[in-house]
Structures are given as C-alpha cells and as structure tokens.
Amino acid sequence: MKKIIKTEAAPAPIGPYNQAVRAGETLYVSGQIALDPQTGELLEGSIEAETELVMENLKAVLKAAGADFSNVVKSHHLELENRTTGRSGCHGWGCHEGLCGAYQKRE
C-alpha cells in the first residue's frame, strides 16, 4: 500500500510528481530546488543560501512523513559549484561526510 506525503511547509511540486511517497516501510522523497515554500519563488542568492533552503525543504517533507535525516539510508546529491568562488553550498551541512547520514546543520 502506498501513501502520498504532502506538506505546505515545503514547496508544492511544479511537475507531475509528489513531495514524497511511502510504500510500506520505504519512503521515496522527490528532489528539491531552492523554492520558497511560502511564495513558490526561486531563491536567487548565494549557493549557501540556496543549499540551506533546499535542505530545510527536505527536512519539512521528511517531518511530514514522520521521519528525519537520521532515517535516510541513501540519497543522491547533485550540486553545482559556484564557478566564481569555487565554493560549495554544502559547507557546514556535513554533506561530504555522507549526506544526511546523521544530518545536522553545523554552526
């Protein structure tokens, strides 16, 4: 049996898909981009700000499904490096130590 997961705390899908689907004990979460869940507008800022918003959106979808980043077994992460600064948006999120493995934002 499958259950569609939907929350207003994350952006509504902009295509023919769901924010997440639970099939039995497995949760499939759709990818995110830096959309503001309140306005639906794409954030245009630093790669760090965009990454922050994407991760917060993912956290909201996981929460709506009764999960959090500690429940994630596998993730696929596509990140475009800022070509001007060479900086990654994942700095401070622990992404390069296993994205979401025991995900906690670092201060």
Could you state, in order of their start, the residue ranges of all structural domains in the chain? 2-97
The pLDDT tens digits of the residues spanning 22-39 come to 999 999 999 898 999 999
pTM for the full model?
Answer: 0.77
The per-residue DSSP string of 55-104 comes to HHHHHHHHHHTT--GGG-----------TTT---TTTTTTGGGTTTTT--
Q: Please choose, from the candidates 81, 14, 82, 92, the residue with its C-alpha nearest in 3D space to the C-alpha of residue 52.
A: 92
Residues 6+ apart with CB under 8 A from 85: none
Query: Does the domain spanning 2-97 belong to CATH 3.30.1330.40?
Result: yes
CA 71 vs. chain centroid, Å, equals: 14
Residues of the chain with pLDDT below 70 are 78-107
